[in-house]
Chains A and B, each alone.
Chain A
Amino acid sequence: MSRVGTIALHTFKESVREKVLYNLIVFAFLLLGAAILFGSISVGIAQIILVNLGLSSISVFGLLMAIFIGISLVSKEIERRTIFTILSKPVWRAEFIVGKFLGLLLTLVINTAIMTAGFYAALFYQKGSLSGSDLVALEAVYFILLQLALVVALALLFSCLSTPILSAVFTFCLYVIGNFAGDIRWFGQETGSPLVEKATTVLYYLLPNFGDFNVIAHVAHGHQIPRSLLVSNSLYALLYITILLSAAILIFEEREF
């Protein structure tokens, strides 16, 4: 196995050993409770609420993990001085960063997969059966994963630059602002000032556009997701993550321990 894969697997193992996946228990109780509770409400609304709640929970739980584990991926290794041992082996610093990113991503993918299974179990309990149209929720889950990958890359970049607390604040703020990237651009256009419009357009392109990944309400109402959005979001996430990781690597290359 490559060194990147070795570091990624170790990062995943560390998350599991540190009982990160315990969040799944909270998630399970939340969904089970919701399914039983909404069972008494009329069928159509119950399903919309359950899909909304289930997918939002997957997103929020994943986001919390991505931020709080992401900011400590590098800082913990530096603080505990385990980085000395790793970098004294024939490991490039870039391999370390990419390995850490992939390791946390693997944790998030498995965590999200289990939560998605729980979500479908709750949906089955509530509806009594599952149909092909329910599978559209998987596309929303895929977008959530793309968002989480972006958040991990952001957290990793900040953790190469700053303290864990500041990294968490920066990452969370950018996540929130990134959800309103489209609104910021719209605001600029509405002002009628060319200068503000230009500035907000630049901001729109610079900020991670999390808003385009949020299709939960869309899916909850049973709407299909256009293929073009799947492709454009995938390419956007890939490009943005590559830029963020490259920046993290450049900073980490210059760092002294």
Chain B
Amino acid sequence: MPAAETVELTKDYSVGFWRKRPKRALDHLNLSVQAGEVFGLLGPNGAGKTTTLKILLGLVFPTAGTARVLGRELGEVAVHARIGYLPENPYFYDHLTAEEFMNYMAALVGLGRGERRLRVGRLLARVGLVDSRNVPLRKFSKGMIQRVGIAQVLINDPELIFLDEPMSGLDPLGRREVRDLILGLKAEGKTILFSTHILSDAETLCDRVAILNRGRLQGCGELREILAMGVSTTEMVLENPPPELLRALTPFTNSAVRTGDRVRLEIPAECDVPEVLEVVLRSKGKIVSLSPVKASLEDYFMAQVAAAPEAPQGKAGPTTTESRQGER
């Protein structure tokens, strides 16, 4: 049973003041997040990432399609006892201290007084805020707020965690802290569905990613598959290669860039690499490095987003073949 799944999920918002017209935020989205995986929802601003999370949490209602969270239909509040959610750019009650806020959250999930004290203390220690437990939240930095946010996510020891842009607006240190916390949760086997537009974070954390653009699913798959798909060229760096060697290599390469006494060659066809090596060794060229160039998630992301067709606004567009890719 998937931890979360969406089937043909569609959401239209009404825009305009006098003449309301629908604007499609999600277009027949099919996704399936398996238990125990870290699943990244990637996409530019306005792609539909937050809308997807909000629908799964019951904060927004779908126009069409269905979704299930931990096997339960949308709108079943009881399932919230088994999930945790960190909103984007969270803001918590600034008149409360970190400990009071955590106690409030603990009471809402139904923890008794003794259990509450233990768990609040443990979680504040886990996110490194024990010393600031009695400080009002209004005095917290953004990174500290984010850590309190993660602590409240964990107050009910959730099976499924939704994180909306958890690294957004953080400095490198804050991002590192939050990333380490998410890695810790991953190690505990929690299912995590998080949205981000910071691709390096997705690359570090995710088992699988889905790329959304204009409400449509552009691609979905395991990160290592996506990255392996991207091995397209091989890079060779030579030191002081004679001009005749470079001429001999011209048929195999599509670029040669000289930097100082080194020349970087790009070999587009992987099958040409042994022959290139043979030519270089025969002419006693000095090889500094030879390495496959992996396309990054960013390359994949950019390719998918660039290939995305213009979504019809407010009309049920046809289900694209890509939108089926999320099914598993």
Contact = CB atoms under 8 A, between A and B. Distances in A.
Interface size of A as a range: 20 to 34
Contacts of A3: 107-108, 110
Interface string A72-113: 000000001110111111111000000000000000000000
Nearest to B58: A87
A41 interface: no
A190 interface: no
A180 to B, nearest CB: 35
Nearest to B100: A13
B108 A81 contact: no
A231 B91 CA distance: 45
B135 to A, nearest CB: 14
A14 B96 CA distance: 8
B77 A90 contact: yes
Given A85-B85, A87-B57, A256-B61, A17 B95 contact: yes
A1 interface: yes
Interface residues of B, number: 31
A92 B110 CA distance: 13
A10 interface: yes
Nearest to A76: B93
Contacts of B162: 88
A85 B90 CA distance: 9
Interface in A1-22: 1, 3, 6-7, 10, 13-14, 17-18
A90 B59 contact: no
B248 interface: no
Nearest to A99: B108
A79 to B, nearest CB: 9
A14 B95 contact: yes
Nearest to B51: A256
B108 A86 contact: yes
A7 to B, nearest CB: 8
B143 interface: no
Contact of B59 (A7, A13, A257): A257
Contacts of B58: 87
Nearest to A88: B85
B91 to A, nearest CB: 5
Contacts of A256: 54, 59-61
Given A6-B108, A88-B162, 8 more contacts: A17-B95, A82-B92, A85-B92, A88-B87, A89-B108, A91-B108, A256-B54, A256-B59
8 contacts: A6-B104, A7-B108, A84-B85, A85-B87, A87-B58, A90-B77, A256-B54, A257-B54
